[in-house]
Amino acid sequence: MPPPAVKPKPPQKLEFTMNSLRNTTLSTGDDSMYFEIVTRFWHSNLTKINKFDMETRELVTVAEIEGLQSGQTRVRFGGDKGQWLTAAEFLKYDSDRVGGTFQANGDVEYRWKTHHGRFQLVKSDDPEKKAVAEFHPHKRHFFVFRMSKHAFFEVQPIPEIVEAIDKFIGTLRFCEI
């Protein structure tokens, strides 16, 4: 009798707590991935993306985005030790398409696109254009009342995207879903 087929890992669900990308939390059900996106009212031109480190039990700043209101947008990864990049250096916008491309860890390039009305992240060199992450919008009761389902990202359990999740979340603020 042949051994049982190995079942692929299910995609992870990064759920938004709020509808605003300025102040929200993205987390999985077991909090193995927990990100906080914060724009303070006294620093309305600076957005910080913090990640919860499970080993040290503290929030670590993984990215900062500055100048979204002034038009001189720049981003920094790696906290205070990182260097600032302009938005044009980090995210190359496509003039004829929605979204843009960005370079992640290990020189892997990803592209934001829309497919059947859904916002997706795909590898640029993938011939099948299979989504690595897909956005699912929130749903409301009768389209106006409280949310019946929070918005979430369905992220495939691919090691490259798990390593580049900081940059993936950092580009969300630029693309403004």
Q: Give the per-residue pLDDT at 101.
A: 78
139 lies in some domain: yes
Q: What is the DSSP letter of 105?
A: G
pLDDT in tens, 148-177: 777 788 888 877 777 778 887 877 766 654
**In terms of residue numbers, what domain contains 102?**
12-175
What digits encode the pLDDT tens for the residues 88-138?
888 887 777 667 778 877 778 888 887 777 788 888 888 888 888 888 877
Quick check: is 30 in a domain? Answer: yes
* pLDDT at site 177: 41
Do the domain assignments include residue 6?
no
Task: Decide: 87 and 101 in contact? Cβ < 8 Å.
Answer: no
In a domain, 142, yes or no: yes
CA distance 110 to 156: 14
pLDDT value of residue 176: 58
For 15-68, how does the pLDDT look when each residue is reduced to its tens digit (9 = 90+)? 888 777 778 888 888 888 888 888 888 878 888 888 888 888 888 888 888 887
Q: Among 112, 115, 158, 153, which residue's Cα sits nearest to residue 134? A: 153
- Asked whether residue 4 is assigned to any structural domain, the reply reads no
Q: Is residue 49 part of a domain?
A: yes
Residue 58: inside a domain: yes
Residue 1 in any domain: the answer is no
How many domains does the structure of the chain reveal?
1
Handedness of CA 77, 78, 79, 85 (dihedral sign): negative
